[in-house]
Amino acid sequence: MSVANPAYHILRKSVVGEEGEWCKMFDPPTASPVTPEILTPTNPVPAFVAAHVPGATMSILNTLQLDLLNGLSITMWDGKKVNFFAFQDLNTGQISFPAPTIRVPRGVVFHCFTAGKGPPPHTIHWHGIEPTPMNDGVGHCSMELGQYTYQWQPNYIGSYFFHCHRNTMQHFEFGLYGFLIIEPPDAYAQQNPLLPNYAGGYPRRTAANLTNFPQFPGFVGGDLAGADPQAMTVPYDTEALWVIDDRDSIWSDKMKNARATFPTHGNQPGINDQFLKGDFHDFNADYFFVTGVPFPAPVGGTVACASNVVVPPALNSGVTGMQVSINAQVNKTILVRCLCAAYVSIRVTFPVDVVIIAFDGRALGVPPFGDYSSAFLVKAGTPFALSTARRFDALIRSATPVNGFANVEFINNRGGQTLLNGRIPIVIT
């Protein structure tokens, strides 16, 4: 008995004729099912955006609307045009790389209506969220759209992201993803810009357990099951979003079609399909970004991205002032949210001490994870490693001015050599 000659053969059923089933593994989809056990959405963010972002609308009650797939051609720092895929936020009309950031208060019923534009199928996978299987958007074992209204209710405050999970290797690399932030339940409660704690501004709060780090004022302990919406959270004055990414322009040149790596059907669909290989077996990143902002240097270089980069409210669920390069004040709390969206590995080195308060969306030391994790200090000059799809949240609070850079080292996964050192300005005055 061996793998080549097993003792038992398990017959596999063909998927032909089952195009309307919930779970399907073929192209193209022929059904747009109704959301099972659909509830009334209670997410306040679409209404807030419609009221405070010029030109924004909310055509479906309390519902975000995203469109896949939109093509983008972006001119790189050296003049070369590179092809991207992108989500479009239909509530604001924005098409961007990465996609506009989604912010959702913990505990609300979230709805996102989506449809595939361009060659289907597509999904939206809510990476790190825990929805029902029909709403998880994992390609090949979940639903592949058609049209659909995703529904879920977030339980944990933190940093997540969303991406197409069909033909993932290509669609994620081509930019079909965005950042997702789960906020405290009262994050959008105050919607009057003339009053303190305005939903569209700062300070804001995030989940943390800072019992061992008293240098961060305003930390609230307490019971998450109680009535206090700010239990186990800390305020921050400045927020920076670092989405670290890379691109192989050869992939872009040769694989413009969104179905470029879809399988070709054999005579038994779902059983003997053949996947195209093309140039997708050989990834060689030659362009590098932070939150869509280029590091303008060739492979082997060391270069800073642009300074004074601020994310507009239309790309940030109506919140004004989220930064990429950091400009802050001494004795103020800075929150850095970092996602490795690169296919190579990265190492991030800060010029100041930082406290890591969350990893992969979960706040360290906050129940129910308090028994086996805790926030921890990373000293200035200490590299912190991330691989694809990993995230961390870090707090900075400096009593002295800083005029320096965080260094992002892009590392080849095969040989371990450094491809680029990208520098993100950090100015604390």
> Do 182 and 157 meet the contact criterion of CB atoms below 8 Å apart?
yes
pLDDT of residue 365: 96
* Cα–Cα dist 260/72, whole Å: 17
Residue indicated by tokens 């009593």? 399
> Do 354 and 394 meet the contact criterion of CB atoms below 8 Å apart?
yes
**Positive or negative: CA dihedral 256, 261, 267, 271:** negative
pLDDT of residue 22: 44
* Domains of the chain in sequence order: 45-183 (2.60.40.420), 236-260+281-428 (2.60.40.420)
pLDDT of residue 28: 47
162 residue type, one letter? F
Chain segment 17-41, per-residue pLDDT in tens: 554 444 433 444 556 777 889 999 9
pLDDT of residue 324: 98
pLDDT of residue 120: 64
* Cα–Cα dist 279/5, whole Å: 33
pLDDT of residue 35: 85
Which 3 state secondary structure label does DSSP give 52? helix
pLDDT of residue 255: 79
Query: For residue 9, is pLDDT > 80?
Result: no
pLDDT of residue 14: 63
Phi/psi-derived region of residue 245, left when phi > 0, alpha when psi is between -120 and 50, beta in every other case: beta
Chain segment 220-244, per-residue pLDDT in tens: 998 888 889 999 999 999 999 999 9
Q: Classify residue 238 by burial, with Cβ atoms within 10 Å: 0-12, 13-18, 19+.
A: buried
**Positive or negative: CA dihedral 374, 344, 100, 311:** positive
Chain segment 166-224, per-residue pLDDT in tens: 778 888 999 999 999 999 999 999 999 999 899 999 999 999 999 999 999 999 998 88
Segment (H or E) for 47: helix 45-52
Which CA distances in Å does 406 have to 7, 19, 119, 348, 402?
Answer: 57, 50, 39, 7, 11
pLDDT of residue 144: 54
* 84-88, 112-116, 318-322, 334-338: least confident range: 112-116
Chain segment 311-366, per-residue pLDDT in tens: 999 999 999 999 999 999 999 999 999 999 999 999 999 999 999 999 999 999 99
